[in-house]
Amino acid sequence: MKKHWLIGGTAGVLALAGLAFMRVQDAQQAANAESPDTYPSGQPIAFPHNIHAGSQPGQNRMDCMYCHFSAERSVDAGLPPMSLCVGCHQVIPGTTNPQEVQKLMDYWKRKEPIPWVRIYKVADHVHYPHARHIKAGLQCQQCHGQVQEMTVINKIDPAWGGHNMGWCISCHREKGASTDCAVCHY
């Protein structure tokens, strides 16, 4: 199912890449083009979630779990392997920030992993299993905000309750999930 998406999707995004020429640049992207090395999140590549996962014209409606595919099967949502990015970007050079796509291709050629900066993290003594939450029907946006509209992901989104214990517990109470200390703590 997901493999099919890649094959069908690549042709689809090639068509969409043409459309992207007409896209109005937002201020954020214009700023990135001027100073690509000072991407606000501090990421090594200015990866725009909105262009990939958004549903506005010129955006590509990719499912979150197309890239974060471990979210429904394991503890970590994980980041996609570089080969997944390269599969598209060896034919899509980018139109507004081509130098950012070039950085991706350079990491690939050097066989060097992209040093993405971690944004969301709970303390080491806390156990947070993604799969249990996705299987319970929760949406990514309930905890991470409207990621598909973000150029840059920041922890400041109000949907993120400061990743403190009160936030976890209040939803667990509301939904009848366990509030045993040992369920969340090692």
Choosing from 39, 50, 151, 184, the residue that interacts with ligand HEC (CB under 6 A) is 184
Residues 67-106, one symbol each (x = binds ligand HEC by CB under 6 A, - = not), give xx--x----xxxxx---xx--xx--x-xxxxx-xx--x--
* Three-state DSSP class for residue 97: coil
**20 versus 31: smaller Cβ distance to ligand HEC:** 20
Tokens of 132: 């249990």
Residues 16-35, one symbol each (x = binds ligand HEC by CB under 6 A, - = not), give xx--x---------------
Tell whether residue 50 is a contact of ligand HEC (CB under 6 A): no
User: What residues contact residue 67 under an 8 Å CB cut-off, 6+ apart?
Assistant: 52, 79, 80, 84
Tokens of 54: 């958004």
d(CA 122, CA 116): 17
Report, in Å, the least distance between residue 174 CB and ligand HEC. 7
d(CA 77, CA 23): 30
Residues 139-178, one symbol each (x = binds ligand HEC by CB under 6 A, - = not), give -x-xxx--xx----x---------xxx-xxx-xx--x-xx
Rg, the chain, Cα only: 18
